Structure 1
């Protein structure tokens, strides 16, 4: 039989296979993370391109779903996809993820029509992208863990996660450039990479994991309960940041309260189901492994502290600092991404280095010090005035990037090293679920804290500033009591908040000098500075506390995670198979 007649999956993996796995999974993570942030900066161009005002009454739902839908889907599906990968093959599911993601990107580029119909279609196509990204995220870490020997996994995962952080920042910059040309290019940019990655993964990746010969069923009841429970819970948290009635926030909305209760009840029911089914989706038995449990607790706390950081810092930059330094509001989204580059640089420097060092000296000290550095960074941010000197701000971001790099790779490596080989897909999916869900929850949490602070202090500041600028008292009162979330969303989208809040008829009746003052680059940022900083500091203090707890949890985790992982691995994989795999990897 000729070589071409041999099944592709039966070809030997070769000594360099681990580098093929690293480069392909890194491309997948880069593509997925670029897309998670590229839309953030391109939202104004997207909504303008299809003729929808995202700040108009009744239209903010579209804004929230364009912003959060992708993240909700990835958060709720990665465990399911990781578990299915354990049963049917991680590489197969990973390849499928590349293909689905590419199809979603093509559909977004070709979105027909305009108005609300076009936005609804784009939201659906973004959910398709999220499904593809879920397959990629759930299985990429497991594929890397299979491909690399234990003494090199930290380095490999460090590079993979460094590129993921790089993608989240590059998305802001690339989106800012492409959206100026056409909003469709924001989605087209992923297509060639998706096609190349799909073909490359199909041709080069091999199934090195040991798929159980025992016929395993899919836990449909557990899958559905988990998906619905987490989705409903996250949707409730997302809509909690919207105004409701006369309230600045939606936490008193009966629908939000119902979503939070129903989501929680379904998740509790899910835990009970997983304890009573033969082949559970969520491997609760993995929590008996101390390293796995403590690593995920640390990762969850880190995600809660860090997930909303980028969102809040961007609002700080776009709504206050950049306009005060002469930048037009419409240019602030791009420059916010550029001015946050020190965070990425710190991670790029330390991510692979800490992974390499943790392979040799253990992960505990690096992950713990990384969390303590992030806590220090959050505390240092509270000492900055709202109109800060950029040198100090950049240095703090760099320190926090170093801290993220020191924590992320060692923590992930310890988690994956502690998981039995046959359950790495499920373990990877569970880790990703904690991270992705923490990001969505963190955004809602930090946004609520900042908005609550604005709701208390912004009305008085706005009323005083508007009446001093020449507006009638009744108009000033009306504008001052608009939900502060409208101003935050406007700043986040790169709109002039005053232009969106002031009635056009009132604005046009003012003298030109008064219009220029109200719509100038300094009027709103100066009014917003003092009310904004109170909520901002509370958010930073809470984030610092979570980082400190995460660092302490990292310190008390098991000291011998790698040796424990090797014992688990040997119990499941035949010694001769393990020996051959290690030779091939080395």
Structure 2
């Protein structure tokens, strides 16, 4: 039997022993301590990334903010968390390779908990309260970035190669199921008090932080002397931050335009961000101690795995938001649910997505431990693409069964992709590069999520801008209320979109501001129709569904591209400290990949 080998050399100043990590990383029972603690942290961080999607109406009411006139606050509360985590992950991963993954993970756990406490205690109301929420969310996001950038590396250190897929699978299940469960928890807690949305993380954060400081230990080979790559950090963090902020502000109206893509400041931010990101790999090949080793992209599983991870995140990152808009703004009201109750029920009706992922995530990790990630991750992304196609052909007043089936298939596909892909990436790099690898992997996924939301929102808002005004006029004529057209046409397409997202009826809000003389010209029955739970959702649906279908078709195409990248990753490959590239699970065939000397 032939095996392939690599020569992963220690870096200058490093103390990297030969063989597997020293104790305590392989002490009996330690791996389960690492798994349980990081799983709690990942779940908590993921829940807080999505819990706010459902609870935003209660939060805005709690701080006395009108969501229809505070679009900028809504976007930053919604997207700021993702922007901050995306920009810091790679730098934090590199710092963890220098100063210790467990140490920075513990600090992150504590920062995240502090941010949750501050959010619960938010003292201000109005604009001041909204700004405080954004700042405290940024603090929480900094802690989440430490957690996301180190969890996979800590697990890879703690588990042997033949169990990493299973461990990372459970961890990935916690992360992605947390995103979906956050919707349900947010809907339940927001009914009682919006502050409970943030309070729920505090006891888990306090216990988890103390537990992490007491029980998690650093592997011996991580202690080394290295310099911080200042220029690399500045170009990457600066470039990604400026670019993602530009994407965010492009979603805001500019002048008479419904979106800000023509805003000179947005254009400048996008161009500047791209230039800095282009400069980043050039800088990294010229500094003596780079923040990120570009030679890692010569490793086949690393390069194609991260490309597939980014592309898959681009396909599915905005799905959750547009599905919430579809459910809260259209489908649930048409099926008799009040606008106030739709946030909670949207979380309930999206449970098939969670169930599919929870079922398949750990199972796919076990399968990839034995057979590798190539074909199971490829099949997973094919299933995701098929689920997009099913969603694209559904009418707005669909039967729930095919919708639930599409969500279940999407959950199963994401479960088949996520944990095998993460295990393949982490297994492919030398142990002393696992922190920055975990950071790069999470950076690409989180950046893909933010870009995906920008892409999906742009497609839908552009479609609504063209289709909503004529749809509104036709719907008013159908109920003999054309005299209200000038007043109701003041509802901007973005206002209609985010009213649906937040579970509001903008027609009802607009009608309360109309003069009694104008309202007297409309029959009471017509007013009841306009402010009911059917007229606005049906009107919005006619303008919303074509652009929604287009976004789903684009999501399907991107998912199939990710499937192709998964198939190109090569066979199973595991790099360990001794430089050995392990054979696949059967133990009979050589690896189909060459090793790379990565310093």
Pairing 1:571–2:582 present: no
1:168 CA displacement: 1.1
Contact 1:307 1:439 in 2 (8 A): yes
Partner in structure 2 of residue 512 of structure 1: 524
Which residue matches 2:555?
A: 543
Query: What's the CA shift for 1:110?
Result: 1.2
Q: Give the SS at the match of 2:295.
A: helix
Task: Output the aligned Cα RMSD.
Answer: 1.8
1:209–1:422 contact (8 Å) kept in structure 2: no
Question: Aligned-pair distance for 1:499?
Answer: 2.3
The residue number in structure 2 matching 1:35 is 48
Match in the other structure for 1:423: 433
Aligned to 1:488: 497
Secondary structure at 1:206's aligned position in 2?
Answer: coil
Aligned match for 1:92, one of 84, 93, 103: 103
Aligned residues of 1:320 and 1:525 also touching (Cα < 8 A):
yes
Distance in 1 (alpha carbons) for counterparts of 2:167 and 2:272: 40
Q: Which residue of 2 aligns with 1:257?
A: 267
* Length-normalised TM-score, structure 1: 0.92
Secondary structure (helix, strand or coil) at the match of 2:579 reads helix
User: How far 1:13 sits from its partner (Å)?
Assistant: 6.1
Which position in structure 2 is the counterpart of 1:436? 446
> For 1:21, which of 25, 34, 39 is the aligned residue?
34
Q: Is the 8 A contact 2:24 2:219 kept in 1?
A: no
Runs of at least 5 residues in structure 1 that lack an aligned partner in the other structure: 1-8, 574-586
Structure 1: how far apart are the matches of 2:306 and 2:463? 31
Q: In the alignment, is residue 286 of structure 1 matched against residue 296 of structure 2? A: yes
Residue 481 of structure 1 deviates from its aligned partner by 6.0
- The question of whether the paired residues in 2 share the 8 Å contact of 1:107 and 1:125 is answered with yes
Tell me, yes or no, if the aligned pair for 1:460 and 1:480 is still in contact at 8 Å. Answer: no
Correspondence for 2:470: 460
| Cα separation, 2, equivalents of 1:68 and 1:381 | 24
Listed as ranges, the matches of 1:409-420 within 5 Å are 409-420=419-430
Q: Tell me the secondary structure at the aligned position of residue 68 of structure 2.
A: coil
Whether the 8 Å contact between 2:93 and 2:437 is mirrored in structure 1 is yes
Contact 2:24 2:30 in 1 (8 A): no
2:58 to 33, 42, 45: 45
- Distance in structure 1 (CA, Å) of the matches to 2:140 and 2:580: 35
SS in 2 for 1:570: coil
Separation (CA, whole Å) in 2 of partners of 1:110 and 1:482: 34
SS in 1 for 2:122: coil
Bigger mean CA offset, 275-284 vs 532-541: 275-284
From 484, 488, 497, the counterpart of 1:479: 488
Higher helix share: 1
Out of 50, 62, 66, the residue aligned to residue 73 of structure 2 is 62
Post-superposition shift, 1:50? 1.2
| Distance in 1, Cα, partners of 2:361 & 2:23 | 35
CA-to-aligned-CA distance 1:281-334 (integer Å, 9 cap, x gap):
122221111110000111111000010111111111111100000001111111
The reply to whether residue 307 of structure 1 matches residue 311 of structure 2 is no
Q: Within 2, Cα distance between the matches of 1:389 and 1:11?
A: 54
CA distance in structure 2 between the aligned counterparts of 1:311 and 1:447, rounded to whole angstroms: 9
TM-superposed deviation, 1:167: 1.1
Closer/same/farther in 2, CA of residues 225 and 302 from structure 1, 3 Å limit: same
Aligned 8 A contact 2:285 2:294 in 1: yes
Is the contact made by 1:13 and 1:206 (CA closer than 8 Å) also made in structure 2? no
Q: 1:499 aligns to what?
A: 508
User: Quick one: which of 509, 520, 524 aligns to 2:536?
Assistant: 524
- Size of the aligned set, in residue pairs, is 557
Please name the residue that 2:127 is paired with: 116
Unaligned runs of 5+ in 2: 1-21, 582-599
Verify the 8 A CA contact 2:38 2:151 in the aligned structure 1. Answer: yes
Name the structure, 1 or 2, with higher relative contact order (CA <8 Å, separation 6+).
Answer: 2
